[in-house]
Amino acid sequence: MRQLRAEAGQASAGKELRPQRQPILSVADIAPSGRAISPDLRRLLQRHAQVKRGTVALSSGDRDVPGIEIFPGLRYTETCVDWLTPPTIIDATFARMDPLHHDRLLHFDTETTGLAGGTGTRAFMIGAADWIDGRFRIRQLTITSMAAESAMLRAFAGWLSEDTVLVSYNGKCYDAPLLATRYRLARMPNPLLGLGHLDLLHPVRRHWKGQWENCRLATAERLLLGVVREDDLPGSEAPAAWLTYLRGGSAANLRRVAQHNAQDLKSLAGVLVHMAKMERCCRLP
């Protein structure tokens, strides 16, 4: 090991205490970059790291990610669909909020590299939807490289204004804190801070907990809106879909993630409108 370190241009194992006394910067300055690592040590580390097979760079012919590239590594899609007719003023009493003009609503949902939380989880797709001239506008940002994350965060921040009211499903506990972390790591102000946020999970739970098998968005959309998804990619497979693409593999599942995300946004709006109307019916008599 000592020899390996020597080969790698590092302090010898037996002398590790001495260089540490120097200010760390000077060590960084003088140390040649160590690319070498002894085969023995490498085997030890690999066994420990449970490297089963090297993550081979994939190569697929299907690399088609929808949308236009608005920044290197950042793709943008925009579609307008006819989807429900929202009342102009949304009665949000069910969510313990004042009535809202539907113009102010921005439905949003992120697709992330996992559920582990902490600073190591990121969003690779942000979908957001709003009502424009009676039609439902769905916009999605997808990064195809890590470096484009800041551009994506900047673009999303541009969609928010101070009177935007966010609509989400479990976004208060999941999407919003996750984005707050990403903005912090990118050294940008958090544009979500201080915005109104209508998280539909809580009112749905209050109404239907115990009546439904669970209160997931998929359950709510099926029972309230009659939505049946075809060829839906389960949310749990989204991280792998993006990672496969990132490593040079097929984009097929990444496109399915985008469809899944778009449907989530439509269902968000659907559940919101349903609950707002339900509230009014209940209160009328």
Partner 1 sequence: MAELLELNQAGALGVKAFTFDGDTPGDARQAIRLHGDIVVSNPDMLHQAILPHHTKWAQFFENLRYVVIDEVHTYRGVFGSHVANVIRRLKRVCAFYGVRPQFILCSATIGNPQEHAEALIEDAVTAITESGAPSGDKHVLLWNPPVVNPDLGLRASARSQTNRIARLAIKSGMKTLVFAQSRSMVEVLTKYLKDVFDHDPRKPARIRAYRGGYLPKERRAAEREMRAGTIDGIVSTSALELGVDIGSLDVVVLNGYPGSVAATWQRFGRAGRRQQSALGVLVASSDPLDQYLVRHPEFFQGAPPEHARIHPDQPLILLDHIRCAAFELPFVGDEMFGTEVATPWLDVLGEEGVLHREGDRWEWIADSYPAIAVSLRSVADGNFVVVDRTDGRQTIIAEVDYSAAAVTLYEGAIHMIQSTPYQVEKLDWEGRKAYVTRASVDYYTDAIDYTRLKVLDCFESSHAGCGHARHGEVHVVRRVPGYKKIRFYSHENIGYGPVNLPDQELHTTAVWWQLPQAVLEAAFEQRQQALDGFLGAANTLHIVATVAVMAEARDLQKSVGSGDGAWFVSADMRGRGQLRGSDGQPAALATDAPFTPTVYLYDAFPGGIGQSEPLFHRREDLVAQSITLIERCDCRAGCPACVGPVLAADEGAATTPKALALRVLALLVAL
Q: Which residues bind partner 1 (CB under 8 A)?
A: 1-3, 8, 10-11, 13-14, 16-17, 19-21, 23-24, 27-28, 31, 33-37, 40-42, 44-46, 48-51, 54-55, 113-121, 145-147, 177, 180-181, 184-185, 239, 243, 246-247
Minimal CA–CA distance to 247: which of 76, 78, 54, 108?
Answer: 54
Residue 101 or 184: the one with the smaller Cβ distance to partner 1 is 184
Cα distance between residue 36 and residue 40, in whole Å: 12
- 210: which residues sit within 8 A by CB, 6+ positions away? none
Q: How far is the CB of 229 from partner 1 (least distance, A)?
A: 23
Residue 31 C-beta: closest distance to partner 1, Å: 6
Report how far residue 188's alpha carbon sits from residue 180's, in angstroms, rounded to the nearest whole number: 9
* CB nearer partner 1, residue 10 or residue 250: 10
> Nearer to partner 1 by C-beta: 110 or 267?
110
Q: How far is the CB of 45 from partner 1 (least distance, A)?
A: 5
Nearer to partner 1, 93 or 170 (CB): 170
Q: What are the E-state strand segments in the chain?
A: 68-71, 74-81, 89-90, 100-101, 105-112, 123-132, 135-143, 165-168, 196-199
DSSP assignment, residue 57?
P
Q: Collapsing DSSP states into helix, strand and coil, what is residue 239?
A: helix
Closest to partner 1 by CB, 160 or 246: 246
* Inter-residue contact 119 to 175 (CB < 8 Å): no
Q: Which is nearer to partner 1, 86 or 239 (CB)?
A: 239
C-alpha angle 73-78-82 in degrees, rounded to nearest 5? 160
